[in-house]
Structure 1
Amino acid sequence: MSSQAVQLRIKSNHVVMDNGIVQVYLSNPGGFVTRIQYNGIDNLLEALNEKNNRGYWDVVWSEYGSTGTTGTFERIVGTSFNVIMETEEQVEISFKRTWNPSLKGKLSPLNIDKRYVMLRNSSGFYSYAIFEHLKEWPAFNIPQIRIVYKLRKDKFHYMAMADNRQRLMPLPDDRLPGRGKELIPPEAVLLVNPIEPEFLGEVDDKYQYSSENINLKVHGWISAESETIPATGFWVIIPSNEFRSGGLVKQNLTSHVGPISLAMFLSAHYAGEDIVLKLQPNEPWKKVFGPTFVYLNNLLDHDEDPLAQLWEDAKFQMNKEVQSWPYDFPASDDFQKASQRGSVCGTLLVRDRCVSDKDIIAKGAYVGLAPPGDAGSWQRECKGYQFWSKSNEEGYFSINNIRSGDYNLYAWVPGFIGEYWNNVVLKITPGCEINVDDIVFEPPRDGPTLWEIGIPDRSAAEFYVPDPNPKFINKLFKDHPDKFRQYGLWERYAELYPNEDLIYNVGVSDYTKDWFYAQVTRKKNDGSYQGTTWQIKFNMDDVQENGLYKLRLALASANVSELQVRVNDEKQDPPLFTTGVIGKDNAIARHGIHGLYWLFNIGVPSILLIKGDNTIFLTQTMATGPLPLFQGIMYDYIRLESPY
């Protein structure tokens, strides 16, 4: 640890932040991180790249009215440099880019202020940015906002983002034509002639390393030890979820072959266009993203496993950063300090009289504040801030350090379908402590359960996930609880069911073995694809006359799919129910076990049911477009209820 005061050196075309532990070079006035010196390494970033392609903020944007999740890629280039704070304890600098009408169509209509902060005795540096769109500026869309760090490929070969998700990684050259064979989708590459033979036959795909926000707090790379330089870690630490869109279970990219580490703030991954930020005409918007922390560490005890030591230290530092949130050092007035924030607490109970005569304590519930909306709107919300916690064994929750503003209270409870939503606006003011006392969630329920398939937890993980094709293996996920992250599992459906689709017999079948994790399309002999029809067979001892049964269909994912429901007549026209075409979360192709959550409550008139054997037909009809292979749904949970 150095006791040196933080220094700022300003040159004509770059500036340097230096605290004696780490030196960070940034282009002036562009604000690109061009060089990071640490631990005897002249530059942790890839010096072979252009200076604007090493460490940078970027945004993807598209014109108002555009559809889809793509657009114009824009590295954010500062046009003015300012020193915000310069003391022995802290340096904060700003690289600002302002917009005016002459830039229409050339740059995203945003004022962007990129900030970098270095503290005394800190082994790293912080970055945050303030994005602002004025009311009179053009409406437009923003699919993505992130920070990118591209590290030296000759040094950083070991990647980690969880205790059980870390490994030696292929080189970026291994993905190039001749060494790698592009698969479908093209982000996946089969390594056919890698530089290191140990990677031969493996699939590399950045989406295999995605993580839910709740678990995405630290990830990065470790360099190999040399005779002169000990092993070194480069870590991206994201201490809060408040500025990331989509809530705790939204999935984002982490690190991947490059070597690259990301801080994702806004992305359409695992959600689709529903979560693209769309600024309407005459809509002002302002948001602070970050700060995030780049943490650097090196091997101190040479008797220990360097990989384990550096990873454990990175987790320890991550916990320190989380406990320090909200930080007290950012100089921008737009970043609210702890004294400007408030808190909400209470106890969540579940009332389901078919499960218990008494209210049930909601253990492990996800409870959050998000901008006012409708039930479940938080998972598509991307303009404001969200604050979440999990309830304890007594159902008690406490949400602290909430930015001042207006919110609704939302919750969902593993083990129960549906959403809790309170439309009363909670106004958070500085220092407020709101106790909502006992709140009661009444999940959808019309009658006793006749039968159910799965676990209502918004994931398809409990269903049957097949072994991967041996030709398409990622060794990390062999014998791994996240088996679903292997490439090509969707192709196994037609192999397991070559002649007819899945049939599930209630009371006989086991959903962990007999319910495929995704209802995908079937590839025909001519190379085209067709929709599939799954059957649920069940026996009824009796049918209530003139009664209305209720089928609950909870989906964990949908990608350009239409799910039709028929009862005891596969050719019923029109079907009893159709979802219409829903979803663009692409979770199947990107090895996610869920995307956005959907719940459909379908009335089944008793006239359609018979005493004895019955069949529900679930048809996913869509098999068109450029990638029909990935059209399909994942079920979360299915339940049939009888009338009371």
Structure 2
Amino acid sequence: MKRAGWFGVAVQLFLLVESSVKTPVRRFPGSIDSPDPILSPPVHLRILDQHVIMDNGLVNVTLSTPQGMVTGIQYNGIDNLLQLNRETNRGYWDVVWGSLDPPGNLGGKYDLLEGTSFSVVLEDENQIELSFTRTWNSSQNGTGIPLNIDKRFIMLRGCPGFYSYGIFEHEEGGPDINIYQGRIVFKLEETLFQYMAVSDERQRIMPTAGDRQNGLVLDYPEAVLLTNPSNPELRGEVDDKYQYSCDDNNNRVHGWICSNPPVGFWMITPSDEFRTGGPVKQDLTSHVGPTTLSMFFSTHYAGESLAIELRDGEPWKKVFGPVLIYLNTNSPDEDALPLWEDAKEQMLIETQSWPYDFPLSEDFPRTDQRGIVTGRLLVRDRYINKELLTANFAFVGLAAPGDVGSWQRENKGYQFWTQADNEGYFLIKGVRNGNYSLYAWVAGIIGDYKYDAYVNITPGSRIRLGVLVYEPPREGPTLWEIGSPDRSAAEFYVPDPNPTLLNQLYVNLPDKFRQYGLWDRYADVYPDEDLTYTVGISNYQTDWFFAHVNRNLGNKTYEPTTWRIIFVLDNLIDTGTYTFQLAIASAHEAELEVRINEADEMPPHFTTGFIGKDNAIARHGIHGLYWWFKVEISASQLVTGSNTIYLTQSRGSSPFKGIMYDYIRLEGPPETD
């Protein structure tokens, strides 16, 4: 954090706004050395009895009619990049949902969202847009999710790929439902695609689906030990699709590479506006199948609080996408790995081109129908600095009106997020019409910010909020702290995995928290007694286990653990109140009890109660939903000299019940001026 400077505020805001309205030049390479896309052949549509084919001379896409399943993708001389299994399991949209009729029937129902009607929205030499729809009525009750569905597919001239977006609508008076997950999925031909790339560091040769089927299932079905893989170099490794999850703000491009011939298949998601839960919501990317997908919403790393609940006939409508399925190639005598670099370049072009100007649904507003919000965020914390601090690189966003921090559980509307610059200036562009609250959080500062007025966006509006000041939770001076307030447990001690349960990809990467089975390593690190942290002596990077988990006693038996924080008070202010600030990065079916200097105090001094269903411990997430608690401690409970805070995670029946701490701070009584 830096002290705030005031020079150049107006200039910076002006430049931010002016730069936001410039439209980048679109580029569709199709290969690393491609011709000018203007010279590409026109797009062409063929309508057959049960299929429709879009073709632009670079890629040929076949869809079933009226279902709207992608059954074939022809590219670079390959007849079909997709698995030759049943047509409904190649390229498709789907949802997982539940109903309240009969009561208690909210479990997972699966719907492939097959269309019942097909239409051509546009066909000319430059663009094709197709629509596959299904309209729900009460006579269909129980046969599919009670939503109106419109799946759109777009092919542009010169684009080596195609776009897809969907419009979901729950009509007024519709039945009560929960929707847990929505996505678009592609299953690729595994004899072609064996190399997966999720980021610059996270890419590798992958096992096959058959390797998983022949492996040993571990603590849950997604995690499999490869016992006899077709590639001997993978023998003894663990494969788990959750090891390849990603925060949404970083989840822009991922996919697969075929080496012979060199072909890349990429999922590009250019915006988070239609995703739920904010920029650090985690979700799946590509994984064994070979599978690549774009997750629009899910309960992963959050639990049922991110299920879309539609009650009492509530009307709801939302557009998901468009996303780009992007293909690229290289000359046969060249290395295939540069295809990843090309895909990243195309991803940047797509994100800079958002919102797109070519989708034809009236439910997708273009740039001139959207608004812009600018401002500057500063921080006032007199115990850090008497002067205002810049909220450098803060996450700032617009989401549905709600309480402080409610954005991370919001799931029905649209969210628009950005990161401030190093002076705290922010610009949020491309905002749909509507009434929003403005939220923010700052790495290095505890808690959440919410602007005290609504932000109303109308077409073409440019709203300058000026200078905003966040006053984070604070009662008194810091006596000591553990960790860094960044909504993650990544800075704490992450042990090496069991050597028999490795994923070699993460052996030399900093995010080794993605290794399988780390929850059981706690008992190896602390075999005789639970963690004890001594303020002023211990180092949280080496002495604070990344997750407060239960102890493995063997035979699938687990017991709760109690951690101790020992600290010395040299000058106890015996008439004051001390404050224990507790920020939690993840919780799964947990209850944290806090006791002060009495290990067996009943009831405990403080309890969070039952919190969390994010399952981030099992899914290698390092964070889930964020929780913050303020615990007041009377001076009468403390002593001059050595004190101990006992932290007990009391729900002990499972290896996955536990919490991850973000940051802990003990504050002294408020200082008087």
TM-score of the alignment, normalized to the shorter chain, above 0.5? yes
Q: 2:222 aligns with which of 179, 184, 187?
A: 187
Partners in 1 of 2:504 and 2:437 — Cα distance? 44
1:68 is displaced (CA, Å) by 10
Tell me, yes or no, if the aligned pair for 1:69 and 1:273 is still in contact at 8 Å. no
**Amino acid of the structure 1 residue aligned with 2:119:** N
Matched letter for residue 482 of structure 1: D
Cross-structure match for 1:290? 321
Counterpart code for 2:466: D
CA distance in 2, matches of 1:274, 1:136: 23
State the alpha-carbon separation in 2 of the partners of residues 135 and 375 from structure 1: 29
CA distance in 1, matches of 2:100, 2:664: 39
2:263 pairs with 1:212: no
8 Å contact 1:67–1:273 — kept in the other structure?
no
CA deviations on 1:428-447 (whole Å, 9 max, x unpaired) are 00111101000000000000
Q: Does residue 537 in structure 1 map to residue 566 in structure 2?
A: yes
Contact 1:69 1:276 (8 Å CA) reproduced: no
Do structure 1's residue 56 and structure 2's residue 97 form an aligned pair?
no
Aligned amino acid, residue 284 of structure 2:
L
Per the alignment, residue 278 of structure 1 pairs with: 309
Q: Deviations over 1:292-329 (max 9, x none)?
A: 000000014844x321x100000011111111110000
Matched, 1:111 2:148: yes
In structure 1, the partner of 2:557 is: 528
Q: Cα gap change, 1:615/1:168 in structure 2, threshold over 3 Å: closer, same or farther? A: same
Q: Does the aligned pair in 2 maintain the 1:371–1:378 contact within 8 Å?
A: yes
Normalised TM-score (structure 1): 0.97
Residue correspondence of structure 1 range 125-164 to structure 2 within 5 A: 125-164=162-201
Kindly report structure 1 stretches of 4+ aligned residues shifted beyond 4 Å.
Answer: 65-70
Q: Residue 173 of structure 1 corresponds to which residue in structure 2?
A: 210
Does the C-alpha gap of structure 1 residues 437 and 399 become closer, same or farther in structure 2, counting only changes over 3 Å? same
Matched, 1:339 2:368: yes
Deviation at 1:546, TM superposition (A): 2.3
- How far did 1:425 drift? 1.3
Q: Deviations over 1:443-463 (max 9, x none)?
A: 000000000000000000000
Which amino acid is the alignment partner of residue 306 of structure 1? A
Question: Could you say which residue in structure 2 is the equivalent of 1:419?
Answer: 448
Offset, 1:603: 0.3
Aligned to 1:244: 275
User: What secondary structure is seen at the aligned counterpart in 2 of 1:239?
Assistant: coil
For the structure 1 residues 69 and 450, does the alpha-carbon distance in structure 2 shift closer, same or farther, using more than 3 Å as the test? farther
Contact 1:367 1:388 in 2 (8 A): yes
Partner of 1:478: 507
Provide the rounded CA distance (Å) in 2 between the counterparts of 1:470 and 1:132: 49
Amino acid at match of 1:271: A
Question: Per the alignment, in what secondary structure is the counterpart of residue 450 of structure 2?
Answer: strand
Taking the TM superposition and a 5 Å limit, the aligned residue runs for 1:616-631 are: 616-624=645-653, 628-631=654-657
- C-alpha change, 1:69 and 1:475, in structure 2 (3 Å) is farther
Q: CA deviation at 1:523?
A: 1.7
Contact 2:271 2:351 in 1 (8 A): yes
User: How far, CA to CA, are the matches of 1:542 and 1:286 in structure 2?
Assistant: 59
Question: What is the Cα deviation at residue 423 of structure 1?
Answer: 3.9
Q: Which one of 293, 298, 318 corresponds to residue 267 of structure 1? A: 298
Residues 377 and 424 in structure 2, CA contact (< 8 A), matched pair in contact too:
yes
Cα deviation digits, residues 554-580 of structure 1 (max 9, x gap): 000000000000000011111110000
Aligned mate of 1:615, from 636, 644, 664: 644
* 8 Å CA contact 1:374, 1:423 repeated in 2: no
Give the residue type in structure 2 aligned to 1:146.
R
> SS in structure 2 opposite 1:76?
coil
For residues 465 and 542 of structure 2, the distance between their equivalents in structure 1, rounded to whole angstroms, comes to 43
Structure 1 distance, partners of 2:437, 2:190, is 46
Residue identity matched to 2:655: L
C-alpha separation in 1, matches of 2:206 and 2:235: 12
Structure 1 unmatched runs, 5+: none
2-side partners of 1:424 and 1:68: how far apart? 40
Cα displacement (A) at 1:422: 1.9
Q: Deviations along 1:385-427, whole A, 9 cap, x unmatched?
A: 0000001111100000101111000000000100001241111
Tell me which amino acid in the other structure corresponds to 1:450: L
1:523-581: CA deviations, max 9, x gaps? 22454211110000000002112211000010000000000000000111111100001
Tell me the distance in 2 between the aligned counterparts of 1:26 and 1:154. 22
Is 1:368 aligned to residue 402 of structure 2? no
SS of equivalent residue, structure 2 residue 361: coil
| Residues 99, 106 of structure 2: 8 Å contact kept | no
2:73 to 27, 30, 36: 36
Q: Distance in 1 between matches of 2:108 and 2:556?
A: 31
- What secondary structure sits across from 1:630 in the alignment? coil
SS of residue in 2 equivalent to 1:144: strand
Amino acid at match of 2:443: P
Q: Which residue of 2 aligns with 1:348?
A: 377
Would you say how many aligned residue pairs link Structure 1 and Structure 2?
A: 632
Correspondence for 1:632: 658
Q: Where do 1:18-29 residues align within 5 Å?
A: 18-29=55-66
State the secondary structure of the residue aligned to 2:505. Answer: helix
Q: Is the 8 A contact 1:446 1:641 kept in 2?
A: yes
TM-aligned CA deviation for residue 69 of structure 1: 8.4
**Partners of 2:529 and 2:364 in 1: how far apart?**
58
Q: Which residue of 1 aligns with 2:12?
A: none
- C-alpha distance in 2, partners of 1:315/1:289? 22
Tell me how far apart the structure 2 counterparts of residues 204 and 70 of structure 1 sit (CA, whole Å).
Answer: 27
Whole-angstrom CA distance in 2 between matches of 1:581 and 1:610:
30
User: What SS does the aligned partner of 1:147 have?
Assistant: strand
Secondary structure of the residue aligned to 2:154 is strand
Measured in 1, the distance between the counterparts of 2:331 and 2:485 equals 46
The question of 1:487 aligning with 2:487 is answered no
Unpaired segments ≥5 residues, structure 2: 1-34
Write the letter of the residue equivalent to 2:482.
I
- Alpha-carbon distance change, 526 to 291 in structure 1, aligned in 2, over 3 angstroms: closer
Q: Is the partner of 1:481 in helix, strand or coil?
A: coil
Q: Deviations over 1:360-390 (max 9, x none)?
A: 0000100000010111110011100000000
1:84 aligned partner: 121
Counterpart in the other structure of 2:285: 254
Structure 2 length normalisation: TM-score?
0.93
Once structures 1 and 2 are overlaid, which stretch shifts more, 246-255 or 416-425?
Answer: 416-425
Matched, 1:16 2:45: no
Paired residue for 1:578? 607
Distance 2:555 2:133 in 1: 56
d(CA) in 2 for partners of 1:363, 1:379: 21
SS in 2 for 1:316: helix
In the other structure, the counterpart of 1:468 is 497
The share of aligned pairs that are identical, in percent, is 58
- Give the distance between the partners of 1:181 and 1:561, measured in 2 at CA: 29
Please give the secondary structure, in 2, of the residue aligned with 1:321.
helix
Give the superposed CA RMSD: 1.2
User: What per-residue deviation string (whole Å, max 9, x for no partner) do you get for residues 590-615 of structure 1?
Assistant: 00110000000000010000000000
Tell me the amino acid that sits aligned with residue 198 of structure 1.
E
In structure 1, the residue matched to 2:18 is: none
SS at match of 2:604: coil
Which amino acid in structure 2 is aligned with residue 288 of structure 1?
Answer: V
Q: Secondary structure, in 3 states, of the residue corresponding to 1:23? A: strand
The alpha carbon displacement at 1:64 in A equals 3.1
Which amino acid counterpart does residue 413 of structure 2 have in structure 1? Answer: G
